[in-house]
């Protein structure tokens, strides 16, 4: 194996390893009426992330794009009970923060993600 082939192989392995770096953390969402959803979010290195939360009946999901230098992201929310909304997350660190979702029915939900979400 030539030095060029070895370097190319090592670079390919490094990129594959970085692309597979997923970080999951808890999410708690509280609706206007006190309804609580619990779930998790997963960030994928360089790709953004996704989340899913349930209250036992409804399941809400979404995906978002996130870049290293951005601390605020907006994202669509879709629930299996027909509700939809737009959320905004404020990252305090790479895996923690808070935000809100404004649903199409006019309700406004608050959420927290990261280890603090476990205490709600």
* In the predicted structure, residue 11 carries a pLDDT above the cut 50: no
Buried b / exposed e along 90-100 (16+ C-beta atoms within 10 A): ebeeebebbbe
pLDDT in tens, 15-37: 444 445 678 999 999 988 889 99
111: exposed, middle or buried (Cβ count in 10 Å: 0-12, 13-18, 19+): buried
Domain assignment present for 73:
yes
Q: Work out the average pLDDT over 107-119.
A: 92
pLDDT at 108: 95
Q: Is residue 9 part of a domain?
A: no
Block residue for tokens 């009970």: 81
How far is residue 67's CA from residue 44's CA, in Å, rounded to a whole number?
A: 10
> Is position 72 within any domain?
yes
Task: Look up the domain containing 101 and give its range.
Answer: 22-119
Q: What is the pLDDT of residues 51-92, one digit of tens each?
A: 999 999 999 999 988 765 678 889 999 999 999 999 999 988
Domain membership flag for residue 4: no
In a domain, 68, yes or no: yes
Q: Is residue 39 part of a domain?
A: yes
The answer to the question of residue 33 being in a domain is yes
What's residue 18's pLDDT?
45
Q: How far is residue 117's CA from residue 2's CA, in Å, rounded to a whole number?
A: 51
Total tally of structural domains belonging to the chain: 1
Whole-model pTM?
Answer: 0.76
Q: For the domain that residue 40 is a member of, what is the CATH number?
A: 2.40.128
């Amino acid at each position: 194996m030539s030095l060029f082939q070895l370097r190319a192989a090592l670079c390919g392995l490094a990129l594959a390893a970085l692309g597979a770096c997923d970080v999951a953390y808890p999410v708690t969402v509280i609706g206007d009426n006190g309804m609580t959803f619990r779930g998790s979010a997963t960030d994928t290195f360089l790709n953004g992330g996704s989340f899913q939360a349930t209250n036992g009946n409804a399941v809400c999901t979404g995906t978002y794009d996130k870049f290293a230098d951005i601390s605020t992201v907006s994202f669509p929310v879709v629930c299996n009970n027909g509700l939809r909304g737009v959320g905004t997350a404020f990252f305090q660190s790479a895996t923690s923060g808070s935000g809100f979702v404004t649903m199409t029915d006019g309700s406004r939900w608050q959420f927290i993600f990261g280890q603090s979400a476990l205490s709600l």
